[in-house]
């Protein structure tokens, strides 16, 4: 057993705790620090599946609906990006592409990878996996950019003849980001330290 | 068995989870992780007063940011302003409850809660009072900090403005400037004071109060 295995970093107060079977509360903030690993694994998986399910309508349904003198046009996320690209707004198109398409996919893949690596020996370094997990948590919320943009536009473009609304896609997208964040938060970093064959 | 003091002298890197031993630092010096170079801890004298001043400034700028107009657009003489009030009205009118509620929590309720909690807990810590409340506020902060998205809102605002550039005349309001101030202050606060240090101060000030 490596040295790090015996110590837990409390995710609330960041205090270092020495693990023993009896004490599962942090010595400083008294919050739960050693939740059941099996439960943590299944919660992460369940929230991730929910997020992936919401990702489908988030891309198929319009994120933006605009009404111009009775005429309705809709835009999906990809449609919006292509539109921006054609109009020559390359930096904005790239920001939206990164934030709305790549970041969620990257997060899904990463969480799946981390979950698989707890059950199978993938010969990857623990330090690298901790770093990857840290980065996913940092970049995750940035997927909200497109939803925020639509809400801001719906407040500003709100005239009697011309109006912009968030579409069903925006709701699905917001929920997708919410469940991805909950999924990552349910993931206990101790799962990374699991050895092959460890039961939990 | 390991004693509390020995545990207090250990720190686990938040990024790579490597275990480090803390060493006493001279004033204004920082310690970084040997594996991933992220800031671990620092010796910042007079940290409570400095942070309190910054948090008071941030409270004022956040209040201004939500009180007045962020941007006004003008399309062929028709004007529309982005304010918190306008946002509430549009959400109610368009029945965008899920997106609307998420938006209001992420850019308004959570940031306000964070800044007020910081204000209260720093004042209490300065006066060495209310250990239990300080602890509850620190725990609350740890839970809601990932959900505050003022920075992402600001970038979204810039994206929305670029999208409107061709159709509308855009005028920046007082709140736009206040929003920039809030973000700069937030960066300075989090650079100077990590929550790890706040918790250490909590232990130092209130000792081992088990309430
Ligand atoms: Zn703790
Ligand atoms: Zn590190």
The partner residue sitting opposite A149, judged by closest CB among B78, B146, B160, is B160
> Is residue A197 in some structural domain?
no
Is A198 contained in some domain? no
Per-residue pLDDT 10s for chain B (211 aa) are: 678 788 888 999 999 999 999 998 898 899 999 988 889 988 888 888 999 999 999 999 999 999 999 999 998 888 889 998 888 888 888 888 899 999 999 999 999 999 999 999 999 999 998 889 999 999 999 999 989 999 999 999 999 998 888 888 999 999 999 999 999 998 888 877 788 888 988 988 887 654 4
* Shared-domain flag, residues A157 and A74: yes
Is residue A110 located within the same domain as residue A18?
no
- The residues pairing with A75 across neighbouring beta strands, listed in sequence order, are A64
Question: Do A89 and A101 fall within a single domain?
Answer: yes
Under an 8 A CB cutoff, do B139 and A13 touch? yes
Domain contains A196: no
Nearest CA in chain B to A137: B146
Q: Which long-range contacts (CB under 8 A, 24 or more apart) does A72-77 make?
A: A74/A167, A75/A167, A76/A169, A77/A101, A77/A146, A77/A169, A77/A173
A69 and A157 in a common domain: yes
How many structural domains compose chain A?
2
Q: What is the pLDDT of residue B208?
A: 60
A44 with A91, same domain: the answer is: yes
Chain mean pLDDT for chain A: 87
Is A200 inside any structural domain?
no
Tell me the CA–centroid distance for residue B40 and ligand 2, in Å. 8
How many angstroms separate the CA atoms of B188 and B186, rounded? 5
CA B178 to chain centre: 15
**For B128-131, which contacts have Cβ atoms below 8 Å and span 24 or more sequence positions?**
B128/B205, B128/B206, B131/B202, B131/B205, B131/B206, B131/B209, B131/B211
pLDDT, one tens digit per residue, over A96-146 is 999 999 999 999 999 999 999 888 777 778 888 899 899 888 888 999 999
Same structural domain, A111 and A164: yes
One domain for residues A10 and A63: no
Average pLDDT, chain B: 89
> Furthest-apart CA pair in chain A: how many Å?
70
What is the pTM assigned to this prediction?
0.90
Query: Using one digit for the tens of pLDDT, what is the confidence trace for B61-103?
Result: 999 999 999 999 998 888 889 998 888 888 888 888 899 999 9
Nearest to A58 by CA among A176, A198, A158: A176
A162: in domain: yes
User: CB burial class (10 A; 0-12, 13-18, 19+) of residue B68?
Assistant: middle
Answer whether B99's CB lies under 8 Å from B90's CB: no
Q: Across the A/B interface, how many CB contacts are shorter than 8 Å?
A: 159
Residue A160 domain flag? yes
| Residue A12 within a domain | yes
Pair A80, A22 in one domain: no
Residues A58 and A141 in one domain: yes
Nearest Cα residue in chain A from B80: A156
CA pair distance B135, B151, nearest whole angstrom? 27
A9 beta partners: A16
Same domain, A9 and A92: no
Residue A169 in tokens: 């896609």
Any domain includes A141? yes
CA of B16 to the centre of ligand 2 (A): 4
What domain range includes position A7? 1-34
Which residues of chain A does B7 touch, with a Cβ-Cβ cutoff of 8 Å? 15-18, 27
A15 CA distance to ligand 1 centroid (A)? 5
Ligand closest to CA B11: 2
Q: What is the CATH number of the domain that holds A102?
A: 1.20.140
Contacts of B152 in chain A (CB under 8 A): 141-142, 144-145, 148
Q: Are residues A49 and A14 in the same domain?
A: no
């Amino acid at each position: 057993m490596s040295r790090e295995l015996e110590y837990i970093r409390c995710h609330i107060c960041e205090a270092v705790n020495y693990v023993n079977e009896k004490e599962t509360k942090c010595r400083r903030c008294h919050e739960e620090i050693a939740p059941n690993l099996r439960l943590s694994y299944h919660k992460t998986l369940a929230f991730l599946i929910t997020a992936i399910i919401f990702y489908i309508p988030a891309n198929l349904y319009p994120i933006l609906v605009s009404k111009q003198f009775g005429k309705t046009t809709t835009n999906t996320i990809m449609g919006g990006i292509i539109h921006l690209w054609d109009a020559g707004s390359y930096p904005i198109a790239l920001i939206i592409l990164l934030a709305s398409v790549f970041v969620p996919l990257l997060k899904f893949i990463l969480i799946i990878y981390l979950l698989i690596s707890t059950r199978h020996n993938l010969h990857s370094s623990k330090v690298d996996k901790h770093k990857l997990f840290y980065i996913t948590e940092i970049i995750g919320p940035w997927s909200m950019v497109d939803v925020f943009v639509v809400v801001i536009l719906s407040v500003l473009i709100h005239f009697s003849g011309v109006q912009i609304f968030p579409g069903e896609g925006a709701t699905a997208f917001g929920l997708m980001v919410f469940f991805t964040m909950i999924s990552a938060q349910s993931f206990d970093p101790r799962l990374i330290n699991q050895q092959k064959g460890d039961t939990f | 068995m390991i004693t509390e003091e020995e545990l207090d002298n250990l720190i686990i890197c938040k990024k790579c989870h490597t275990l480090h031993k803390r060493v006493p630092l001279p004033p204004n010096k920082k310690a970084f992780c040997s594996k991933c170079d992220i800031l671990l801890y620092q010796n910042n004298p007079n940290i409570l007063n400095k942070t309190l001043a910054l948090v008071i400034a941030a409270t004022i700028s956040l209040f201004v940011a939500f009180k007045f107009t962020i941007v006004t657009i003008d399309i062929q003489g028709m004007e529309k302003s982005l304010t918190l009030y306008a946002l509430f009205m549009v959400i109610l009118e368009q029945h965008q409850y899920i997106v609307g509620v998420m938006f209001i929590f992420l850019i308004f309720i959570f940031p306000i809660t964070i800044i007020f909690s910081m204000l209260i807990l720093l004042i209490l810590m300065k006066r060495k009072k209310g250990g239990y409340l300080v602890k509850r506020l620190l725990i609350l902060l740890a839970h809601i900090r990932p959900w505050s998205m003022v920075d992402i809102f600001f970038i979204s605002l810039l994206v929305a403005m670029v999208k409107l550039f061709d159709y509308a005349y855009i005028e920046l309001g007082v709140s736009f400037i206040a929003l920039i101030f809030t973000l700069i202050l937030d960066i300075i606060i989090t650079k100077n004071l990590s929550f790890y240090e706040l918790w250490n101060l909590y232990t130092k000030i209130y000792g081992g109060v088990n309430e």
